[in-house]
Amino acid sequence: MAWRVLVPIKHSQVAKRRLQGATRSQDDHMQLVHAIQLDTLDAVLAVTTHPLVGGLAVVADQLTIALPAQIEQLPDAGGGLNAALRAAARELAVRYPDDGVVAMVGDLPALRPADLLSVLAVAQAHERSFVRDLQGSGTTLLAASSADRLDPQFGPDSACRHLRSGARELPAPLSVRCDVDSVEDLRSCLALGTGLLTAQLASSLV
């Protein structure tokens, strides 16, 4: 089984509102959001040459970043994040019926490809599993051996909800857990070492 990684991407004008305090203007905010998204996608794209990973797709309504040709784009079906992920997972199941699905947040600018591969390798042993974020209450990654088992429950206290729904919690390196919801989170990611775009922009903002 190979994994199909699915990353939801919000429009930059509505994404990461809590980061606006780190930027001088709306334009700076949009550039920072773009940098975080692109560094995350770049790290995932780096593992798509590995046999564990079949490909990368994003689910988005309106994209404000240019995607490399290797990344598929799936429409946001509406109804909120979890409904959009379920619909996108069903579409991946039609296209790639033998592959598992991994739903992963798009704000992991410190993500290291080797760390992601290590988590995906362990996830193969479970029908459904997840990674808890650094704050402890959220989820950065949810994996299912088939699309119909994904059952995403992202949002407040998603880690507890995924655990209660039967998903196995996976140990994971910090780079897979360090998502960005606040300026403090961004500082944590910068301390780990982010991708080039985030590092360049954040150095003058945070």
The per-residue pLDDT string of the chain (206 residues; one tens digit each, 9 = 90 and over) reads 899 999 999 764 444 555 655 555 677 778 888 899 999 999 999 999 999 999 999 998 877 777 888 999 999 988 999 999 999 999 999 999 999 999 999 999 999 999 999 999 999 999 999 999 999 999 999 999 998 899 999 999 999 999 999 999 999 999 999 999 888 899 999 999 999 999 988 776 65
Query: What CA dihedral angle connects 129, 105, 41 and 97, to 10 degrees?
Result: 50
Q: How many CB atoms lie within 10 A of CB 131?
A: 27
pTM: 0.92
Give CB contacts under 8 A, 24+ apart, made by 199-204.
200/35, 201/28, 201/31, 201/32, 201/35, 202/22, 202/32, 202/35
Q: How many domains does the chain have?
A: 1
Query: What CA dihedral angle connects 29, 30, 32 and 33, to 10 degrees?
Result: 120
Which residue range is the domain that position 165 belongs to? Answer: 3-202
Q: Residue 194's domain is classified under what CATH number?
A: 3.90.550.10
Of the candidates 43, 52, 51, which has an alpha carbon nearest to the alpha carbon of residue 7?
A: 43
